[in-house]
Structure 1
């Protein structure tokens, strides 16, 4: 059984898809979304709000669902469902990104900002991350963890990588193989 803590460190869109492991959905409540948002805060522009609403959660879950379906097709070299692509585009349009000009005291600086509520901004940023991943030629290299009971996806830096995490599934699978080789009876 996989660890219930979310895996992080893959491309952001994969981290989002991986919030639905076999052990249960990590984003079932606004608090669950906020906890994941805090873990990913360094990669998501803007502040994590004190409170996350059910509407925020709904917007992010919709992006996750559309990303997962589109990714399932694209990583196999197939055309993704048009409704998933349109939904990801719509999520980005719901909180448009602008290059905001600010005076930093000595010069004009540019900061990327999105308009809209925190949840719409998060969903738009995640949809943008999904768009970048889906359009990346390396998307076909994304793999599913080889552990029997794991559904996590990862983008291997090493072509020999087989598990979402060597510390989780890798160790578990090695222990299981060792047990099978040394089983008495």
Structure 2
């Protein structure tokens, strides 16, 4: 699987939801999860597992499903499913965050560590990123790509943004419109030529 297939750059929770565009699931194997995690490493609170297990994949996909359900509800001005909201609490509770103090020789520093297996900590971190996003005022800007065959989600920085990515859907739509305009203009010219013929 090519790492280029993932659309990244949105909030982490949306990047996760966007690993399931339309009828394609980009996270069906632990190796695919490892590819996605490598691209998101800088955004995670701790290094992800290098070789995720099938159980890690299951937990991540479960969090993804709950984020998608809440986003779908918000896009349609409906109440988010209570089960999805509880799932975020449960995932974070399964790997509680503990603030630990460390003495570096001159001062105390506090760091946050989660307990539990690598996959459980990863699911908790993803659930936490979902809670941060979904509880933020920014979520009111949530949009779905306007390309007919695209379901990817994004938070536009500019209110006129219409597509998930200028490269992915924006260019494709613009090229299709250009082709349609020029094709229509050519047919119109051809029709006028035929009408002028004796």
TM class, shorter-length: over 0.9
The answer to whether structure 1 residue 90 and structure 2 residue 113 are counterparts is: no
| Correspondence for 2:56 | 56
| Correspondence for 2:161 | 161
Secondary structure of 1:163 counterpart: coil
Q: How many residues align?
A: 183
Where is the helix percentage greater, Structure 1 or Structure 2?
A: 2
The answer to whether structure 1 residue 38 and structure 2 residue 72 are counterparts is: no
**Structure 2 gap segments, 5+ residues each:** 188-198
Q: Shift of the alpha carbon at 1:51?
A: 1.4
Q: Does the CA-based 8 Å contact 1:66-1:84 persist in structure 2?
A: yes
Q: Does the CA-based 8 Å contact 1:76-1:140 persist in structure 2?
A: no
Tell me the C-alpha RMSD between the 2 structures.
1.5
Q: Give the TM-score of the pair, scaled to structure 2.
A: 0.87
Q: For each residue in 1:65-113, what CA deviation from the matched residue of structure 2 results, as whole angstroms up to 9, or x when unmatched?
A: 0110012113443211111111111011111111121122321111111
Q: Does the CA-based 8 Å contact 2:102-2:109 persist in structure 1?
A: yes
**Structure 1 gap segments, 5+ residues each:** none
- The structure, 1 or 2, with the larger RCO (C-alpha pairs under 8 Å, 6+ apart) is 1
Structure 1 stretches of 4+ with a deviation exceeding 3 A read: none
| Correspondence for 1:124 | 124
| Correspondence for 2:77 | 77
Q: Does the CA-based 8 Å contact 1:153-1:164 persist in structure 2?
A: yes
Secondary structure of 1:126 counterpart: helix
| Correspondence for 1:6 | 6
Q: Does the CA-based 8 Å contact 1:34-1:52 persist in structure 2?
A: yes
- Look at both structures and tell me which one has the larger radius of gyration over its CA atoms: 2
| Correspondence for 1:171 | 171
